[in-house]
């Protein structure tokens, strides 16, 4: 039985280790199922919709025999007293008549009724706030519309809290109220208390997750030791872009017997999407759609993947399918937006993203995607607006920062865009795209040293687009650093061929052409002729290859012997398969590769 | 001197109104305040018989009320009360009639509103008429729920006016009571409860007090704070509070771009690069949106703000001393401005370019000249005279004839007064003072400083602040302090420094100026009175503010402590630095100091070429103060080389200018030197004239002693007494001799033993 992770304030623990281990309670899945069933019932009684996640999980577990199904919680004296009022109020609550529900609950004493009473008041306030936003009195008032009930709720709840009368659900509500009042520190404390009081309530965990901004903060929290915690940690890791740890955690969760859970599958798929492992993610999403064909959640992510892969028919099918299910969902609108974008109908795409934003103005992805669409339409000011909105919703949205950088780069302001790219790079230090963008900016500003550093770093962190080395090589070429340039071209060629797939923009011919000339200049005629021959395989370099071959044979006829200077880098050495870049690398045997 | 130019990089764009343009296409909305104002107007037009004086006062009141920010009900009433007391009750009554009854009363008010104006003197197209119609239109557009909300806020507005002002804690406490009435059992005095309660109270109270500002109020707030930041930083809010306030504004209205700009200014104030960059870029991102939406300037406005965005970024990096970054940004700004053919922006770029070059320490005269020419061509007086001032500054250090410099300044002054560019007038005055001081004309410098300090602010709108927080003022006050220190008026110096400390607290941008000035004065004072151990910490402090000056002072101190070889090494270093930075003044001072070092090793002939070289330099650069100093040095060398006649002639030649413009110390030294020459000459004079000559030398010494006593310069005073005693001895005046000898002995005991007699050659 593995030791359960126990994170105390100040305890420094390797997060990898934490990710791998699971709470011991996963040994008894039936117990978990029982707990789930009971908490689902409790949530339902209180009108909490988060229980859907628990139901999903419960569904994925094997069903229990009749005698093991947990009975409903026994009613207390107070519950019995309030039963009628609660029943009535719950009906009104379900009909979204919150004020009415609250009115009939005002005198109730039981915990359940008290929660529902407060919750209805809270929801009523939220509903009124939303309605008010539509007809406010002026532009400044737009932001001033507040949920008026919040402050009253806070005062009442804080009294009860200091008297210790709040149960897990009420604590959760208290936390929500605090968060809405922007009292984040207090809110975190309350949510932690809520998870301790009722660890099975996923809503509290979820709220807590939204408030955690970094690993240090995560480590400093003392969380209850329960199996839900593992789900929570995985979720937080995903949010904090610690994808590896998240994947590990989810992996061990599935291994523990939760293979059928659609929730876990979707989360893993999203995680793969975040690290741009497109094939894995696509496979998982397809599996998800098989298991849960009417699912709308996460389908926008799926559509992003399809978009990246330019899978038009699949995307079109997905869009049609979702429209049939529910066309007034944010996800649906995003999918349709992506679909139009892929068909280069950017106006329509922007329109659909706008619709998504009307449905939910805090939908981050839609703002960024809309920015991209405006960029495509060359409407830079609108693009900047969209990206800025995205950043307002979430400061950590690296795509929006990156988009802003791109916009300014298009406006020919490379220095200006540096700031934005740097921001994006800060958020994703290991993403080669930002580094390449930074490098390009530096190159435009004639800051070659910085540019070189950026490109090399981009290559070192694993270049996604495989452009960094080529750019680095060209930069060296410009600076007349032929050795370094040749080195880069060599690694570039190895890289292109070792990854197997053909990339559209691959400029192997450029590399070969340069290498041919380089060897020729250094009198390594064998290597030069080999490169020249390879050149002939490409249309755009064929003539030059032939010319070089002629030159080589001319020189050889004059009897000049090949140089034996071995300090030069040679492409055609036996392969030593090192994936980590070393400056003087022993490269790949090209002769076995047929382009 | 170099610091004069620093004021140029306080963003010239703010004062030029390039960025100032506030694009708010916001229509009017009905607010309770506006209803109250309408009620006032209504009453005014319906109340026919009214005292003429009252009516006039009220009429004068209307415009500021209409255009100003929203006031509270109380404020409004008290303002009206000042003009016409009976009107207050009428307005109050009308508003309470509306607020205390039903919604219908407000509707009724708006229904009868136009009738009152139909037959009065308020025409439809008059300011009042337009305002009234605008309000009616805005009111009629409101939906039912909006009207209801307006009514609610009106009720609140009036009720706030009714209630006596209370502090927030009671308000919050009442709030608590209001909301906690369903739980009467809880004892509010319970210890734990109280703890939690008080915490909440303060939070809630805070919430209540702040509230969101209205659009106009926010604009007013920003404009005022920005103005204060520029002109009188001390009166502006503390950086932390201001930032909090800005965050509050932004929370309620994230589109309020100007707040970002103010946040940029504010964080520059506290030298926070991170936030200032962030705010600046955010501001321009937002501004770009506004420009894009405005139809009048369309794409043009959008591109324009882009150019200024990069330019501002360049200035930001300039401010923080990131010259390479600034250079890159500036080049980018120039490129896109060229592409767009925006000459005005290009001009701004050019003026920044030469400023940047100057800050980097390279020659930028040609650039500046070009800039001035182009600015004049495009009719940009601000930039043109800024360029001229910069040229004058460079010219002064490079030895351009004084008449040309002052002519140029006078020429720009005419422009400044015509265009009322008060900022530049101030710079010009401070610059003139600096130039006069550089030339060694202390009286003229003092006059210019007084002129600047006595000048009333030219700003047409000032919020009751005197514009005395800008760099020219700091420079002028520093000059004043140094001039007073020269005359030994240390009490006055202390007062001036104290004032500077108040006006420019140490965290502000220009505080370095007075810090350096203060330290220099302290250093000189300690050195003069021979307390070298006191001078030592000042050297380190000066070095932190100005490395070259610090090194120079260190050399001086080392020389005083008899560590000649170290002093010489450091002087060589300073010499190189001075050549690199083209600081002629410093080069000459180093030459003089090196000559003094030669004296100490009795290499009097070796010091001659140095001194002659220095003399040529002072001639070419019109540095009269240094020139007389050099001549005094030459005279001393000659005296030591045994040509006292020549020495005396030299001293007598410069004595006039020294006595007219020089510092006390210099006057004393010149007289002491003259007395020495006289004494030496007396020995070789024929017998019958000798006594008369000695007598003269004694008199000169007495005069010198007066200056040294005023300054408290004890080592030199000791020398004077020594010489006097010797001379009296020659004269046979025993009584006087003994007196001087006693004085000498007293001083000699007081002073550190290391410095032996006649250690101070000059």
Segment B310-327 shows an average pLDDT of 88
> SS3 string of A579-592?
CCCCCCCCCCCHHH
Residues B90-147 have pLDDT tens digits of 888 888 888 887 778 888 888 888 777 766 666 777 778 888 888 888 888 777 877 8
Chain B residue closest in CA terms to A145: B252
pLDDT grade for B552, boundaries at 50, 70 and 90: very high
Residues of B in contact with A155 (CB under 8 A): 175-176, 179-180, 200, 204
pLDDT grade for A145, boundaries at 50, 70 and 90: low
Instruction: Tell me whether residues A135 and B310 touch, CB distance under 8 A.
Output: no
Chain B residue closest in CA terms to A381: B289
Is residue B20 predicted with pLDDT exceeding 70? Answer: no
Is residue A579 predicted with pLDDT exceeding 50? Answer: no
Is residue A574 predicted with pLDDT exceeding 50? Answer: no
Instruction: Tell me whether residues B146 and A162 touch, CB distance under 8 A.
Output: no
Comparing CA positions, the residue from B438, B486, B26 lying closest to residue B214 is: B26
Q: What is the pLDDT of residue B463?
A: 46
Mark which residues 136-155 of A lie under 8 Å from B by CB: 136-144, 151-152, 154-155
Chain B residue closest in CA terms to A391: B282
Instruction: Tell me whether residues A162 and B218 touch, CB distance under 8 A.
Output: no
Residues A368-425 have pLDDT tens digits of 889 999 988 888 888 888 898 888 888 878 889 999 999 999 888 889 899 999 999 9
Pick from B143, B215, B310: CB nearest A139 = B215
- Please give, rounded to a whole number of angstroms, the shortest distance from the CA of A380 to a CA of chain B: 10
Residues A80-116 have pLDDT tens digits of 778 888 888 888 988 888 999 889 888 888 888 888 8
Residues of B in contact with A142 (CB under 8 A): 253
- C-alpha B749: how far from chain center: 46
A103 Cβ under 8 Å from any chain B Cβ: no
Instruction: Tell me whether residues B285 and A384 touch, CB distance under 8 A.
Output: yes
Instruction: Tell me whether residues B183 and A159 touch, CB distance under 8 A.
Output: yes
Pick from B251, B291, B310: CB nearest A416 = B310
Cβ neighbourhood burial of B407 (10 Å; 0-12, 13-18, 19+): exposed
Residues of B in contact with A106 (CB under 8 A): 182
Stated as kind and residue range, the H or E segment containing B756 is none
- Please give, rounded to a whole number of angstroms, the shortest distance from the CA of A1 to a CA of chain B: 44
B87 Cβ under 8 Å from any chain A Cβ: no
B295 Cβ under 8 Å from any chain A Cβ: no
Out of A192-206, B172-186, B508-522, least confident range: B172-186
Compute the C-alpha angle A419/A421/A423, nearest 5°.
70
B558: three-class secondary structure by DSSP: helix
Residues of A in contact with B145 (CB under 8 A): 135
Q: What is the pLDDT of residue A197?
A: 87
Instruction: Using a pLDDT cut of 90, give the percent of chain B over it.
Output: 8
- Please give, rounded to a whole number of angstroms, the shortest distance from the CA of A416 to a CA of chain B: 7
B272: three-class secondary structure by DSSP: coil
pLDDT grade for B494, boundaries at 50, 70 and 90: very high
The answer to whether the CB of B720 falls within 8 A of the CB of B704 is yes
Instruction: Tell me whether residues B289 and A385 touch, CB distance under 8 A.
Output: yes
Residues B384-403 have pLDDT tens digits of 888 888 888 888 877 788 88
Is residue A130 predicted with pLDDT exceeding 80? Answer: no
Higher pLDDT, B22 or A265: A265
Instruction: Tell me whether residues A162 and B192 touch, CB distance under 8 A.
Output: yes
Dihedral of CA atoms B580, B581, B583, B588 in degrees, nearest 10, equals: -20
Q: What is the pLDDT of residue A2?
A: 37
Instruction: Tell me whether residues A388 and B183 touch, CB distance under 8 A.
Output: no
Out of A53-62, A262-271, A425-434, least confident range: A53-62
Is residue B495 predicted with pLDDT exceeding 90? Answer: yes
- Residue B511 CA to residue B492 CA, distance in Å, equals 19
Q: What is the pLDDT of residue A531?
A: 82
- Please give, rounded to a whole number of angstroms, the shortest distance from the CA of A10 to a CA of chain B: 28
- Please give, rounded to a whole number of angstroms, the shortest distance from the CA of A530 to a CA of chain B: 44
Backbone angles phi, psi at A180, to 5 degrees: -65, -25
Number of other CB atoms surrounding residue B51 within 10 Å: 10
Chosen from A415, A442, A443 to mutate, greatest number of chain B CBs within 10 A: A415
Instruction: Tell me whether residues A156 and B289 touch, CB distance under 8 A.
Output: no
Q: What is the pLDDT of residue A44?
A: 82
The answer to whether the CB of B461 falls within 8 A of the CB of B471 is no
Give the pair of three-digit tokens for residue A330.
């944010």
Chosen from A102, A128, A143 to mutate, greatest number of chain B CBs within 10 A: A143
Instruction: Tell me whether residues B183 and A445 touch, CB distance under 8 A.
Output: no
Is residue B185 predicted with pLDDT exceeding 50? Answer: no
Residues A509-550 have pLDDT tens digits of 788 888 888 888 887 888 888 888 877 877 777 788 888 888
Q: What is the pLDDT of residue B161?
A: 62
Residues of B in contact with A445 (CB under 8 A): 328, 332
Q: Is B428 left (phi over 0), alpha (psi -120 to 50) or beta?
A: alpha
Give the pair of three-digit tokens for residue A214.
């970094």
Segment B209-228 shows an average pLDDT of 69
DSSP A275-323: TT-HHHHHHHHHHHHHH-TT--TTHHHHHHHHHHTT-HHHHHHHHHHHH
The answer to whether the CB of B626 falls within 8 A of the CB of B589 is yes
Segment A120-136 shows an average pLDDT of 78
Comparing CA positions, the residue from A546, A512, A549, A504 lying closest to residue A529 is: A549
- Residue B144 CA to residue B608 CA, distance in Å, equals 96
Segment A121-143 shows an average pLDDT of 69
Instruction: Tell me whether residues B336 and A381 touch, CB distance under 8 A.
Output: no
Is residue A483 predicted with pLDDT exceeding 80? Answer: yes
- C-alpha B561: how far from chain center: 38
Segment A460-479 shows an average pLDDT of 82
Out of A277-291, A346-360, A453-467, least confident range: A453-467
Pick from A135, A152, A411: CB nearest B143 = A135
B183 Cβ under 8 Å from any chain A Cβ: yes
Residues of A in contact with B292 (CB under 8 A): 381-382, 385
Residues B723-734 have pLDDT tens digits of 888 888 888 888
- Residue A205 CA to residue A229 CA, distance in Å, equals 8
Instruction: Tell me whether residues A140 and B288 touch, CB distance under 8 A.
Output: no
Cβ neighbourhood burial of B589 (10 Å; 0-12, 13-18, 19+): buried
Instruction: Tell me whether residues A143 and B31 touch, CB distance under 8 A.
Output: no
Q: What is the DSSP letter of B472?
A: H
- As separate numbers, helices (DSSP H) first and strands (DSSP E) second, chain B gives 37, 0
Segment A495-514 shows an average pLDDT of 70
- Please give, rounded to a whole number of angstroms, the shortest distance from the CA of A405 to a CA of chain B: 12
Residue with tokens 């029982």: A34
Instruction: Tell me whether residues A143 and B251 touch, CB distance under 8 A.
Output: yes
The answer to whether the CB of A298 falls within 8 A of the CB of A282 is no
Residues of A in contact with B192 (CB under 8 A): 162
Q: What is the pLDDT of residue B18?
A: 27
Whether pTM > 0.80 for this model: the answer is no
Out of A421-430, A571-580, B236-245, B464-473, least confident range: A571-580
B209: three-class secondary structure by DSSP: helix
Is residue B6 predicted with pLDDT exceeding 70? Answer: no
The answer to whether the CB of B266 falls within 8 A of the CB of B259 is no
Mean pLDDT, all residues of chain B: 78
The answer to whether the CB of A218 falls within 8 A of the CB of A11 is no
Residue with tokens 């004059």: A558
B207 Cβ under 8 Å from any chain A Cβ: yes
Backbone angles phi, psi at B440, to 5 degrees: 85, 20
Q: Which residues contact A236 (CB under 8 A, 6 or more apart)?
A: A209, A212, A218
Instruction: Tell me whether residues B212 and A140 touch, CB distance under 8 A.
Output: yes
- Residue B499 CA to residue B96 CA, distance in Å, equals 51
Pick from A140, A158, A447: CB nearest B196 = A158
Instruction: Tell me whether residues B179 and A156 touch, CB distance under 8 A.
Output: yes
DSSP A101-150: HHHHHTT--SHHHHHHHHHHHHHHHHHHHHHHHHT-SSTGGGGG---THH
Is residue B189 predicted with pLDDT exceeding 70? Answer: no
């Amino acid at each position: 039985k593995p030791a359960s992770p126990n994170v105390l304030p100040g305890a420094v623990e390797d997060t990898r280790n934490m990710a791998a281990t699971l709470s011991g309670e996963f040994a008894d899945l039936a117990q978990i199922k029982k707990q789930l069933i009971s908490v689902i019932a409790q949530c339902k009684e209180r009108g909490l919709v988060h229980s859907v996640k628990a139901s999903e999980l419960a569904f994925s577990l094997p069903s229990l025999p009749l005698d093991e199904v947990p009975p409903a919680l026994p009613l207390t004296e107070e519950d019995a007293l309030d039963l009628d009022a609660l029943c009535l109020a719950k009906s009104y609550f379900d009909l979204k008549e919150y004020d009415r529900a609250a009115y009939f609950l005002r005198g109730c004493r039981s915990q359940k009724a008290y929660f529902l009473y407060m919750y209805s008041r809270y929801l009523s306030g939220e509903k009124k706030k939303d309605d008010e936003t539509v007809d406010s009195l002026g532009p400044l008032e737009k932001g001033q519309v507040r949920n008026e009930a919040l402050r009253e709720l806070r005062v009442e709840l804080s009294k009860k809290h200091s008297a210790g009368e709040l149960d897990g659900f009420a604590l959760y509500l208290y936390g929500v109220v605090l968060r809405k009042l922007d009292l984040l520190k207090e809110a975190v404390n309350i949510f932690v208390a809520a998870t301790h009081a009722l660890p099975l309530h996923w809503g509290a965990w979820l709220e807590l997750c939204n408030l955690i901004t970094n690993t240090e903060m995560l480590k400093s929290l003392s969380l209850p030791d329960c199996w839900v915690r593992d789900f929570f940690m995985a979720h937080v890791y995903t949010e904090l872009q610690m994808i590896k740890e998240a994947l590990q955690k989810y992996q061990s969760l599935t291994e523990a017997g939760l293979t059928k859970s659609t929730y876990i599958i979707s989360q893993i798929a999203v995680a793969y999407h975040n690290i741009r492992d497109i094939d894995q993610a696509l496979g998982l999403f397809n599996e998800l759609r098989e298991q849960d064909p009417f699912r709308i959640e996460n389908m926008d992510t799926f559509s992003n993947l399809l978009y990246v892969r330019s899978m038009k028919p699949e995307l079109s099918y997905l869009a049609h399918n979702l429209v049939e299910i529910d066309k007034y969902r944010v996800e649906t609108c995003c999918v349709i937006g992506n679909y139009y974008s892929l068909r280069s109908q950017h106006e329509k795409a922007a329109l659909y993203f706008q619709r998504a934003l009307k449905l939910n103005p805090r939908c981050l992805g839609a703002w960024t995607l809309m920015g991209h669409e405006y960029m495509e339409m060359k409407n830079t000011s609108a693009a900047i607006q969209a990206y800025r909105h995205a950043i307002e919703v979430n400061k950590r949205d690296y795509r929006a920062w990156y988009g802003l950088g791109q916009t300014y780069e298009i406006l020919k302001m490379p220095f200006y865009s540096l700031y934005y790219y740097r921001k994006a790079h800060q958020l994703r230090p290991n993403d080669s795209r930002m580094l390449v963008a930074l490098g390009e900016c530096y190159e435009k500003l004639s800051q070659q040293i910085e540019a070189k550093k950026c490109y090399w770093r981009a290559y070192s962190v694993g270049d996604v687009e495989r452009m960094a080395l080529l750019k680095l090589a060209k930069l060296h070429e410009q600076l007349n650093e032929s050795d370094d340039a040749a080195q880069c071209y060599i690694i570039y060629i190895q890289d292109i061929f070792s990854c197997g797939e053909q990339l559209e923009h691959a400029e192997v011919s450029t590399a070969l052409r340069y290498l041919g000339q380089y060897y020729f200049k250094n009198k390594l005629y064998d290597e030069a002729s080999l490169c020249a021959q390879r050149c002939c395989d490409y249309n755009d370099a064929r003539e030059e290859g032939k010319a070089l071959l002629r030159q080589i044979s001319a020189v050889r006829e004059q009897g000049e012997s090949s140089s034996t200077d071995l300090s030069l880098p040679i492409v055609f050495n036996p392969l030593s398969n090192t994936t980590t870049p070393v400056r003087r690398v022993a490269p790949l045997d090209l002769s076995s590769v047929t382009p | 001197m170099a610091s004069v130019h620093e004021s140029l990089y306080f963003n010239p764009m703010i004062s030029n109104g390039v960025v100032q343009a506030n694009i708010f296409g916001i229509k009017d909305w009905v607010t309770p305040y506006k209803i109250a104002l309408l009620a006032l107007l209504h009453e005014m037009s319906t109340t026919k018989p009214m005292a003429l004086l009252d009516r006039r006062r009220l009429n004068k009141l209307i415009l500021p009320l209409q255009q100003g920010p929203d006031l509270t009900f109380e404020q409004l009433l008290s303002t009206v009360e000042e003009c016409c007391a009976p009107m207050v009750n009428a307005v109050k009554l009308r508003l309470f009639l509306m607020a205390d009854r039903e919604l219908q009363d407000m509707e009724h008010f708006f229904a009868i509103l136009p009738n009152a104006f139909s037959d009065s003197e308020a025409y439809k197209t008059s300011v009042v008429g337009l305002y009234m119609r605008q309000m009616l239109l805005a009111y009629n557009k409101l939906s039912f729920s909006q009207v209801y909300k307006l009514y609610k806020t009106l009720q609140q507005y009036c009720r706030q006016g009714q209630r006596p002002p209370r502090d927030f804690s009671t308000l919050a406490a009442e709030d608590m009571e209001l909301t906690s009435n369903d739980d009467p059992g809880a004892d509010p005095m319970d210890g734990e409860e109280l703890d939690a309660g008080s915490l909440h109270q303060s939070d809630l109270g805070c919430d209540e007090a702040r509230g969101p500002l209205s659009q106009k109020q926010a604009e007013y707030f920003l404009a005022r704070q920005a103005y204060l930041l520029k002109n009188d930083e001390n009166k502006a809010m503390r950086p932390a509070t201001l930032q909090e306030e800005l965050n509050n504004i932004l929370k309620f209205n994230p589109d309020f771009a100007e707040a970002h700009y103010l946040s940029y200014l504010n964080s520059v104030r506290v030298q926070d690069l991170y936030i200032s960059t962030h705010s600046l870029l955010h501001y321009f991102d937002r501004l770009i949106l506004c420009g894009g939406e405005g139809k009048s300037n369309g794409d043009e406005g959008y591109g324009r703000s882009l150019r200024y965005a990069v330019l501002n970024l360049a200035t930001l990096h300039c401010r923080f001393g990131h010259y390479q970054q600034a250079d890159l940004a500036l080049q980018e700004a120039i490129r896109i401005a060229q592409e767009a053919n925006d000459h005005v922006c290009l001009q701004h770029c050019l003026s920044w370019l030469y400023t940047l070059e100057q800050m980097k320490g390279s020659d930028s005269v040609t650039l500046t000249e070009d800039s001035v020419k182009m600015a004049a061509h495009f009719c940009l007086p601000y930039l043109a005279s800024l360029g001229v001032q910069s040229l004058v500054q460079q010219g002064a250090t490079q030895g351009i004839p004084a008449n040309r410099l002052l002519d140029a300044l006078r020429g720009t002054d005419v422009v400044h007064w015509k265009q009322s560019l008060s900022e530049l007038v101030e710079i010009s005055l401070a610059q003139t003072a600096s130039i006069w001081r550089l030339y060694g004309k202390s009286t003229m410098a003092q006059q210019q400083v007084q002129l600047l300090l006595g000048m009333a602010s030219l700003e047409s709108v000032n919020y009751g602040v005197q514009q005395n927080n800008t760099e020219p003022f700091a420079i002028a006050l520093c000059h004043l302090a140094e001039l007073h220190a020269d005359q030994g008026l240390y009490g006055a110096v202390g007062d001036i420094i104290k004032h500077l400390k108040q006006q420019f607290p140490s965290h502000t941008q220009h505080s370095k100026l007075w810090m350096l000035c203060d330290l220099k004065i302290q250093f000189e004072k300690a050195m003069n009175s021979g307390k070298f151990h006191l001078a030592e910490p000042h050297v380190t402090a000066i070095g932190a503010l100005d490395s070259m000056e610090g090194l120079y002072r260190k050399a001086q101190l080392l020389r005083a402590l008899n560590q000649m070889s170290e002093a010489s090494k450091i002087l060589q270093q300073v010499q190189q630095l001075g050549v690199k930075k083209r600081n002629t003044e410093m080069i000459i001072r180093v030459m003089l100091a090196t000559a003094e070092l030669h004296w100490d090793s009795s290499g009097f002939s070796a010091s001659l070429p140095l001194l002659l070289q220095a003399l040529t330099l002072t001639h070419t650069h019109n540095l009269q103060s240094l020139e007389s100093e050099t001549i005094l040095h030459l005279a001393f060398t000659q005296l030591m080389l045994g040509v006292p006649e020549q020495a005396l002639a030299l001293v007598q030649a410069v004595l006039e200018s020294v006595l007219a413009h020089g510092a006390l110390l210099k006057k004393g030294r010149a007289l002491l030197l003259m007395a020495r020459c006289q004494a030496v000459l007396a020995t070789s004079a024929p017998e019958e004239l000798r006594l008369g000559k000695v007598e003269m030398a004694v008199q000169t010494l007495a005069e010198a002693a007066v200056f040294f006593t005023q300054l408290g310069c004890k080592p030199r005073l000791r020398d004077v007494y020594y010489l006097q005693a010797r001379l009296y001895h020659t004269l046979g005046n025993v009584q006087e001799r003994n007196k001087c000898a006693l004085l000498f002995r007293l001083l000699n005991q007081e002073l550190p033993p290391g410095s032996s007699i006649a250690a101070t050659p000059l």
